[in-house]
Amino acid sequence: MPSSVESPAAVAYRADAALIDGRVIADVAISVGPDGDIVAVGDAPRSGAERIRGLAIPGLPNLHSHAFQRAMAGLAERAGPEGDSFWSWREVMYRFLAVLTPEDVEAVAAQLYVECLKNGYTSLGEFHYLHNDPAGRPYQDPAELSRRILAAAEASGIGLTLLPCLYQSSQFGGSAPTPGQRRFVLDDDAFARLCGDLVAATAGNRNWRLGLAPHSLRAVTEDALGRALELRETLDPTMPVHIHAAEQVKEVEDSIAFSGRRPVDWLLDAGAGEGWCLVHCTHLLSDERARLARSGAVAGLCPTTEANLGDGFFQTPEFLAEGGRFGVGSDSNVSTSPVEELRWLEYASRLKRRARNVVETREGASVGASLVERALAGGAQAVGRAIGAIERGRRADLVVLDLDHSALLGRPPERLLDAFVFNGNTTPVRDVMVGGRFLVRDRRHVDEERIGAHFRRTVLRLAGHLP
């Protein structure tokens, strides 16, 4: 096992077991420096080290979230007069946005982030497209709502990659935004100023990172996308870039009708690759899928939201066989459990193929471990942070699984991640550390009561204004 000389100021821990290089190893020493990075990992017993009771695994990255949607979960589940779809769900979202204040945004995001932490997400990519007031006007501080997301991340302690979103049109070709989209819209100059402000706001916080998010090819023209990428080169050429792509059949059809190109092919032609996360990619032709796998870009998969919206199935086994990279996200936040996202990636493929254990084809290999390890690597790449493994130089983002939990009890080491992903509906997550700081102890977040009370007041107020 790798080891290193630690700083005298490091805090020493001794885990009953830890996931190291894809294997569950017993009795692991982990030392964390004052900046929250892991400075040493070893197998020698340590006198005076604080014991971590259970299995320590790297915290899972949530690569795609729209935090405000946590408060509207369950409000779009009534059958309409005609077939319901993503597009009818979107109209409910627009009505919800009409009553959302900055204080609401912060309260809902903080509650979401606490829930994510308690379920095993230690970092999150916030795809943030809410910028203006309900009338579409900028706030006195145009970065007001972005700062509310930062405040929520600070209160909860979760690692954050903030992805301010560029949204300018309602359809391919630059059609004018609809009234329901007025809270999202920024011109190029306003977007550049916002990103500049956020560079300063996030600087110096090792738990935060800034990226950018052109919303989609229907909301950003090819020229506007090019200008956003030029801005990235000016601010930080290593910024993660996230974009929705090929989520719905209608989006693909509209893209072909406008340009003769499918969205993912279009983006790959434009240079999407490492440093990019293409979110959803539900509707791909086989050659598109192979191109995406070869590109080095991460496919951002959100199975519970994609199921809730009726988007369709991602071609997971084929994509992985071609060497593709993926991470998972909570998206609309109807679920805040990484296990549920990973489970449904496998289950959707089982249902399509009418077979079992389909995302991992090596004889005897663990499907649960494969899903967890791939989501760790792809998620860390997508959010652009040094996370996703217990090793020197990574952030000390750890999730501790309770080995006495009914889902894990009596399972041998090589079966633990299978049990974590596929056994039961109560989480075995007991403790959670982010950047060297324990935020969840014995299943309780350190500021759970205050954040929860603020959320309850917010949701009850919103309930009086919603249809």
| C-alpha–C-alpha distance, residues 96 and 402, integer Å | 39
| C-alpha–C-alpha distance, residues 338 and 314, integer Å | 17
Q: Contacts for 442-447 with beta carbons within 8 Å, 24 or more apart?
A: 443/118, 445/114, 445/117, 445/118, 445/156, 446/157, 447/114, 447/155, 447/156
Spatial contact of 383 and 123, defined as CB atoms under 8 Å apart:
yes
Q: Where in 219-347 does DSSP place strands (E)?
A: 241-245, 276-280, 298-301, 325-328
Q: Please, what is the angle between helix 222-235 and helix 188-202, to 10°?
A: 30
Q: Burial code of 2-14, b = ≥16 C-beta within 10 A, e = fewer?
A: eeeebeeebbbbb
Q: Which one from 311, 331, 402, 431 is the annotated catalytic residue?
A: 331
Other beta carbons within 10 angstroms of residue 164's beta carbon come to: 23
Q: Which one from 64, 131, 244, 280 is the annotated catalytic residue?
A: 280
- Among 360, 353, 337, 333, residue whose Cα is nearest residue 418: 360
| C-alpha–C-alpha distance, residues 367 and 418, integer Å | 6
* Residue 465 falls in the annotated catalytic set: no
Collapsing DSSP states into helix, strand and coil, what is residue 24?
strand
Considering only CA atoms, give the Rg of the chain.
Answer: 22
Alpha helices in 335-366 (DSSP H): 338-353
Collapsing DSSP states into helix, strand and coil, what is residue 187?
coil
* Residue 27 falls in the annotated catalytic set: no
Backbone angles phi, psi at 269, to 5 degrees: -65, -30
Q: Burial code of 422-450, b = ≥16 C-beta within 10 A, e = fewer?
A: bbeeebbbbbbbbbbeebbeeeebbebee
H/E element, 222: helix 222-235
**Parallel, antiparallel or unpaired: strands 208-210 and 159-166:** parallel
| Positions marked catalytic | 280, 331
